[in-house]
């Protein structure tokens, strides 16, 4: 793409972001935001539980792990501990993000689904592009531009349960040449034309003369013409998106202006009319988006491989505490061995399993840090590592911190089962069956 054209694209993108920012300031509240305002109205937003719910929602947007698509995860949301699950995905303009979502709880639950577009200026708040509070099934979103998007799931306060989610991405339009796919595109958007005096405003899909050209979208035919450049052309106004779709160089047309079409309706046949007379037969396919002009149609059409990696991590540990089996196990920012290393864990570090994806567990450490570990490198905490006898009176607390709430007093001579270690504390089970934390120092053990 020439420098002037590239500069125009960048300026247009910056202007669009400013417009989006202004619209965001005047939009209606999302269901998630309206729910939090209802908590505020009755004084619950200021409680520790309400504040934790709000913090979990905010944190999940900025700590969302980047996942490749398609992606499948099963997990558990805890009613007693407000949380959210989030996923960061990269989408190109025209891609359809599909979600299959289910939450099974003991009681009917409002599950808030929000999709945010992250702005190029990270100091600006993410922009909500899709929001719902009654999702238990399939939801689609078509990306209006290339960007990072974050999908967030969060149940209402004091609700939770087992969830499953599958995310996929593919083109939002049907392929317009019968029997072909994107491998037949041999001239791309933005390629130079007329020795660089202009750029290509579509893609060229090559096929034998007479191959049927089919409508890529539902909509209405607005023009059927014969022009000097496009030759025999058909224009369709897309009824799903704010696009006008252009089919050019047809050998012949098979539709009239004003006709209503669906995906797959016959529009004409591949040819090389207009200024394509010296080239092999092909369809020039263009997408013109309202306010943006010509845009790259490639990702509107791409149907990528949908090889979904099934979950092989044991699901029996969902919602439970496990521990690392040796030292140096890596906590990663995503569910794959190439993801950023967040931390290296000590042997027998307790981790709570929030979800499972592929062969990985999404986990939270006792200090609240989250990430992914390979499931095969963890084990259940049901079998104690060893037994210890408390030599002096101590206290068992709810977390590995000197300021954590006290759960019970432990008298001298009491035997406890050690289940894990973290940050100078032992994760133990008392004779009464309670689990909690005892500081390894200054507590003495026999």
Tell how many helices (H) and how many strands (E) occur in the chain: 4, 33
Per-residue pLDDT, 5:
46
What's the start-to-end Cα distance of the chain, in Å?
Answer: 74
- Cα distances (Å, whole numbers) of residue 390 to 215, 416, 440, 444: 76, 8, 10, 6
Per-residue pLDDT, 2:
42
Where does 230-313 have alpha helices with state H? Answer: 298-301
- Answer yes or no: are the C-beta atoms of 360 and 375 closer than 8 Å: yes
* Tokens at 173, concatenated: 């339009």
Closest by CA to 129, choosing from 155, 173, 82, 97, is: 97
CB atoms < 10 A from the CB of 179, how many? 10
Domains and CATH numbers, the chain: 3-171 (2.60.120.380), 182-296 (2.70.70.10), 315-380 (2.30.30.40), 386-439 (2.30.30.40)
Per-residue pLDDT, 134:
75
Residue with tokens 């040819």: 271
* Tokens at 363, concatenated: 């986990």
Per-residue pLDDT, 137:
84
Per-residue pLDDT, 188:
84
- Answer yes or no: are the C-beta atoms of 444 and 438 closer than 8 Å: no
Q: Are strands 378-380 and 406-410 parallel, antiparallel or unpaired?
A: unpaired
Q: Is 188 helix (H, G, I), strand (E, B) or coil?
A: coil
- Answer yes or no: are the C-beta atoms of 422 and 438 closer than 8 Å: no
Could you read off the pLDDT tens digit of each residue along the chain, which spans 446 residues? 444 444 454 445 555 666 676 676 778 899 999 999 999 999 999 999 999 999 999 999 999 999 999 999 999 999 989 999 999 999 999 999 999 999 987 778 899 999 999 998 888 889 999 999 976 789 999 999 999 999 999 999 999 999 999 999 999 999 999 999 999 998 787 665 655 566 678 999 999 999 999 999 999 999 999 999 999 999 999 999 999 999 999 999 999 999 999 999 999 999 999 999 999 999 999 999 998 899 999 999 999 887 899 999 999 999 999 999 999 999 999 999 999 999 999 999 999 999 999 999 999 999 999 999 999 999 999 899 999 999 888 999 999 998 999 999 999 999 999 999 999 999 999 998 999 999 988 766 76
- Answer yes or no: are the C-beta atoms of 164 and 101 closer than 8 Å: yes
- 378: β partners: 324
* Angstrom distance (rounded) from CA 328 to CA 346: 6
State the number of CA atoms in the 13 A half-sphere of 158 facing the CB. Answer: 5
Q: Is 111 helix (H, G, I), strand (E, B) or coil?
A: strand
Per-residue pLDDT, 305:
82
* Angstrom distance (rounded) from CA 62 to CA 55: 11
- Answer yes or no: are the C-beta atoms of 244 and 208 closer than 8 Å: no
Torsion of CA 88, 89, 95, 101, to 10 degrees: -60
- 234: β partners: 224, 247
- Answer yes or no: are the C-beta atoms of 258 and 220 closer than 8 Å: yes
């Amino acid at each position: 793409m020439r420098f002037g054209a590239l500069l125009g694209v960048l300026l247009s993108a910056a202007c669009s972001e400013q417009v989006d920012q202004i619209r965001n300031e005047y939009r209606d509240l999302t269901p998630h935001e309206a729910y939090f305002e209802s908590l505020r109205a009755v004084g619950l937003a200021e409680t520790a539980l309400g504040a934790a719910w709000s913090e979990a929602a905010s944190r999940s947007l900025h700590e969302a792990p980047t996942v490749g698509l398609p992606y499948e995860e099963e997990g558990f949301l805890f009613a007693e501990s407000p949380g959210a699950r989030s996923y960061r995905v990269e989408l190109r303009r025209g891609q359809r993000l599909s979600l299959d979502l289910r939450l099974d709880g003991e009681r009917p639950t409002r599950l808030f689904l929000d999709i945010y577009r992250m702005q190029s200026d990270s100091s600006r708040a993410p922009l909500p592009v899709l929001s719902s509070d009654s999702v238990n099934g399939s939801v689609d979103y078509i990306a209006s531009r290339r960007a990072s998007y974050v999908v967030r799931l969060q149940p209402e306060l004091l609700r939770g349960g087992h969830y499953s989610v599958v995310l996929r991405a593919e083109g939002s339009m049907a392929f317009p040449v019968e029997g072909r796919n994107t491998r037949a595109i041999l001239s791309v958007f933005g390629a130079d034309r007329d020795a660089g005096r202009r750029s290509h405003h579509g893609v060229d899909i090559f096929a034998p003369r007479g191959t049927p050209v089919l409508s890529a979208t539902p909509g209405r035919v607005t023009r059927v013409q014969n022009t000097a450049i496009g030759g025999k052309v058909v224009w369709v106004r897309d009824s799903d998106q704010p696009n006008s779709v252009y089919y050019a160089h047809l050998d012949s047309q098979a539709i009239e202006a004003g006709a209503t079409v669906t995906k797959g309706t016959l529009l004409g046949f591949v040819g090389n009319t207009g200024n394509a007379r010296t080239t092999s037969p092909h369809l020039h396919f263009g997408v013109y988006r309202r306010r943006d002009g010509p845009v790259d149609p490639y990702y509107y059409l791409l149907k990528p491989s949908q090889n979904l990696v099934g979950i092989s991590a044991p699901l029996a540990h969902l919602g439970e505490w496990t521990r690392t089996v040796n030292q140096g196990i890596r906590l990663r920012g995503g569910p794959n061995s190439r993801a950023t290393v967040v931390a290296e864990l000590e042997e027998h570090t307790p981790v709570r399993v929030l979800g499972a994806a592929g062969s990985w567990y999404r986990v939270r450490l006792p200090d609240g840090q989250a990430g992914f570990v390979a499931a095969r490198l963890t084990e259940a905490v049901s079998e104690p590592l060893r037994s210890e006898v408390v030599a002096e009176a101590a206290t068992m607390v709810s977390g590995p911190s000197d300021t954590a709430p006290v759960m019970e007093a432990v008298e001298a001579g009491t035997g406890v089962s050690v289940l894990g270690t973290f940050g100078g504390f032992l994760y133990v089970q008392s004779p009464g069956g309670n689990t909690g934390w005892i500081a390894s120092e200054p507590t003495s053990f026999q």
